[in-house]
Amino acid sequence: MRFLIFGFQPYGGMDFNISKKVVERVRSVGVIKEIFPVVYDKKMFTNTVKKAEPDAIIGLGMHPRGRMLRIERKAKNLKRDGPIGQGPDTIRMSLSLPKEGAWLSYDAGRSVCNFSMYVIRSFTPSLPFAFIHVPKTFDAAKAADFVEKAIRACAARGLSPP
């Protein structure tokens, strides 16, 4: 199985983005890694998915607060500058991840994380996709372990719900 794992570059004057650090630490076989700039560019996301041809996608973003990993279950169509268009108001993520060590969230915020979720899920509605927000002070090694366990669990069950 081929997994596309992505995170984001630092933004807003920050010198790091924990999602980038986590992606860099993932060592699972069959993983394609991508680090995106923090821009609202629909084609950047869709072209990467086309090129990678993954069986599943796990996106990572940095959350400014919190102490636990957040598995995001829903993306909102914020229609920011019209790039998403006239799609549904919300789209649910389709890849279920083990929840041990994380909690479920139904509000991915108003940032490029939510945008990436909505765009990718709209572009590939049948492709299993999950998104994890990592608190900016979280241990990157622990987050990478969580992602690797999620990949193994998803591969073992053939990407079906747990």
Instruction: For residue 103, name the pLDDT band (cuts at 50, 70, 90).
Output: very high
SS3 108: coil
Contact present, 73 and 92 (Cβ < 8 Å): yes
What letter would DSSP give residue 64?
S
Instruction: Return the pLDDT at 125.
Output: 92
CA neighbor of 45 nearest in space, from 28, 29, 57, 55: 57
CA separation for the pair 37, 90 (Å, rounded) = 24
Q: Please give the single-letter amino acid code of residue 109.
A: G
SS3 80: coil
CA separation for the pair 96, 42 (Å, rounded) = 24
Per CATH, the number for 3-156 is: 3.40.630.20
Could you tell me if residue 18 is left (phi over 0), alpha (psi between -120 and 50 degrees) or otherwise beta?
A: alpha
Instruction: Return the pLDDT at 160.
Output: 47
Instruction: For residue 161, name the pLDDT band (cuts at 50, 70, 90).
Output: very low
The whole-number average pLDDT for the span 107-119 is 93
pLDDT tens per residue, range 31-64: 999 999 999 999 999 999 999 999 999 999 999 8
pTM of the model: 0.92
